[in-house]
Structure 1
Amino acid sequence: MKQKIQQIFCISFPKRLQILTIQLFSMQLLDEEVEFWACGVFIINETLLFSMVGAITSYLIIVFQMDNDNK
């Protein structure tokens, strides 16, 4: 299906118009703010990921310290 659309696009539009269309589409993508939601409850973004990494790191440090105290 994807290849057929590409073939139709290449046949029906001249090269310059293809380039302009792709440039306009890429500009629209740059202007759009993309958000990823987890089950519609909260947004998955860099703040959440940094918080998760920090929590996991803290947990591992505590576990390793407890393990060293037992030896």
Structure 2
Amino acid sequence: MHDFLKTANGEREVDLHPSMAAMLREYISRPVGSTHFLDGRWKPKPGSSLRQKSAQLDRMERNANPRPF
């Protein structure tokens, strides 16, 4: 991870579901070298479960806000 942008147009703003934003804030606040994204039993969550949660939240938002045709 770098603390600079590769190009002048490299900055992005990304909309996140509030629960994913909270999970990301928790991840960033942990000290380097600590276990990230723990489940309810204090075991590390696999990356696939985070992708599944993100996809589930996306589907829920699409169903709640259908696009007009």
Q: TM-score interval w.r.t. the shorter chain?
A: 0.3 to 0.5
TM-score with structure 1 setting the length = 0.35
Report 1 or 2 for greater relative contact order, CA contacts < 8 Å, sequence distance ≥ 6: 2
Q: TM-score, normalised by structure 2?
A: 0.36
Name the structure with the higher helix share. Answer: 1
Greater strand share, structure number: 1
